[in-house]
Amino acid sequence: MQNLLPFPVTVVGSLPRSRAVARALRNRQKGRIAETEFNRIADAAVLESLKLQEENGVDIVSDGEQRRDNFYSFITDSIQG
């Protein structure tokens, strides 16, 4: 059998968010927590996402989209009107 190059593994899309991140997303949207507090919670979730991916042999890791509430809000948040 011929030697094959390794097939890199990556994650596409969002990893599941913890309850703490989901709560922080809602509270940030409603103005109940400061951006710095949200970032503290999201940063911890990103580190957990990276750890999970590395422990499971993912070659190309991502932040798991822990800071995003969905795939389109970055567009709607920038539209006026």
DSSP string, the chain: ---------B--SPPPPPHHHHHHHHHHHTTSS-HHHHHHHHHHHHHHHHHHHHHTT-SB---TTTT-SSSSHHHHTT---
Q: Whose CA is closest to 47, among 79, 15, 12?
A: 15
Predicted structure pTM score: 0.80
pLDDT at 1 over 70: no
What confidence category does residue 13 fall into, taking pLDDT thresholds of 50, 70 and 90?
confident
Q: Which residues have a Cβ under 8 Å from the Cβ of 53 and sit 6 or more positions away? A: 11, 61, 62, 64
Higher-pLDDT residue of 77 and 13 is 13
pLDDT in the model for residue 56? 96
pLDDT at 4 over 90: no
